Amino acid sequence: MDHGIVGGSLIQSEIGIASLAELALRVLSGEKADDIPTTTPERTFNQVDWRALRRWGIAESRVPAGTFIRFREPGIWDQYKLYILGAIVLLVAQTTLITRLLVQGARRRRAENEARGSQAALRQSYRRIHDLGGRLLAAQESERSRIARELHDDISQQIALLSMDLELLNTANGAEADSEGLRDALDRTQGIARSVHDLSHRLHPAKLRLVGLVGALASLPRELAQPGVSITFTHDHVPSNLPHELTLCLFRVVQEAVQNAIKHGAAHNIAVHLGAAGQRITLTVADDGRGFDINAAPGKGLGLISMGERVELIGGTLKVSSTPGAGTRLEAMVPLHADEARADSA
């Protein structure tokens, strides 16, 4: 073997040498040679040279079963089995990772599409709510105007006639006691007439169109004045030709804020300031009332919600800051051109 032959039943000298060495060891160990039985080990077995098979084009399938094939060159699998297994494991891991990434990407895109759909639905819902809020405020103003007209044109006239009748009765009555009773009734009637008149003007401030926002706010402290309460109004650089929608909004905000400060905040000093700078107008209402904790409050009151909605409808922002025992400060910033700001926000 290893000198060109294909192979066959060949003697393996290593087997004889190993058998002889075993016998020698037994003798050296003290065993008598005569006691060792004679054996003839099988030293031949079938073997072929793999290189000769390749050289002569003999297929391994034609080699007899049990034949030992020597000098076989290791194949790619035998040489690089660990590398191949590692590459397969790495490929499977990468394939799994890429598959998961693709699945996650598909899920993310689906989630993004759903989120965009939800955002679009939310925006549409917000626009509807915003539009509904504007309609409700417009309906409120319309109802206020109707009630104000009813008070002014009907009830005020009836009270005025009642006051005239009481005045005539008081003049015609000669009894002193009865005259004093009629005088008291006449005074109460005139007081009711003034209250109805003031209520009518608060519900529908017609003077807004006549004297403008600054003039209307300047007279508001006198209309809302109460004993122990000081209301001051200051202004600077306020244009005289403000849009009616903006004028009405700021007037209602001041009206609501001052009433809240008096009724709920128990304030003694209320300062109202109106100023314009650039293309924005700022309204500030500060009081020294009891205040409240904005973070701990379960929710905004209807007054704050109404003011916020009014300011948002004309494209402005409303900020309320308050601390228990330290009063409340309300600041509204609105654009001078409400129509353009509302169009931009839409």
Structure confidence at residue 340 as a pLDDT band (50, 70, 90): very low
Instruction: Report which of 285, 272, 156 is spatially closest to residue 214, judged by C-alpha positions.
Output: 272
Instruction: Give the Å distances, CA to CA, from 341 to 60, 155, 246, 335, 338.
Output: 91, 41, 11, 7, 5
CATH 3.30.565.10 positions along the chain are 206-346
Q: How confident is the model at residue 302 (pLDDT cuts 50, 70, 90)?
A: low
The whole-model pTM stands at 0.51
Question: Distances in Å between the alpha carbon of 258 and those of 4, 201, 217, 236, 312?
Answer: 117, 16, 11, 20, 20
pLDDT at 180: 64
Q: What is the mean pLDDT of residues 201-206?
A: 60
pLDDT at 274: 93
* Mean local confidence (pLDDT), 148-170: 66
> Which range among 13-22, 93-102, 297-306 shows the weakest confidence by mean pLDDT?
297-306
Concatenated DSSP letters of 89-141? HHHHHHHHHHHHHHHHHHHHHHHHHHHHHHHHHHHHHHHHHHHHHHHHHHHHH
Q: What pLDDT score was predicted for residue 247?
A: 86
Instruction: In whole angstroms, give the CA distance from residue 221 to residue 212.
Output: 16
Q: What pLDDT, on the 0 to 100 scale, is given for residue 343? A: 43
Mean pLDDT of 88-106: 93
Tens digit of pLDDT for each residue in 224-263?
778 888 999 999 988 888 888 888 889 888 888 888 888 8
What confidence score (pLDDT) does residue 232 get? 92
Burial of 327 (0-12, 13-18, 19+ CB in 10 A): buried
pLDDT (0 to 100) of residue 99: 94
> Beta partners for 328?
287, 322
Q: Which residues have CB under 8 Å from 327's CB, separation 6+?
A: 265, 267, 286, 287, 288, 289, 290, 291
Q: Quick one: tokens of 135?
A: 């309609």
Average pLDDT, the chain: 80
Backbone angles phi, psi at 299, to 5 degrees: 175, 165
Confidence band of 173 (pLDDT split at 50, 70, 90)? low
- Residue 298 confidence (pLDDT) above 50: no
Q: Domain 206-346: which topology?
A: Heat Shock Protein 90 (3.30.565)
In 270-297, which positions are buried (b, 16+ CB within 10 angstroms) versus exposed (e)? bbbbbeeeeeebebbbbbbbbbbeeeee
Section 148-169 average pLDDT? 67
Q: How confident is the model at residue 222 (pLDDT cuts 50, 70, 90)?
A: confident
pLDDT at 330: 92
pLDDT exceeds cutoff 60 at 108: yes
pLDDT band at 191 (very low <50, low <70, confident <90, very high): confident
* pLDDT number for residue 341: 46
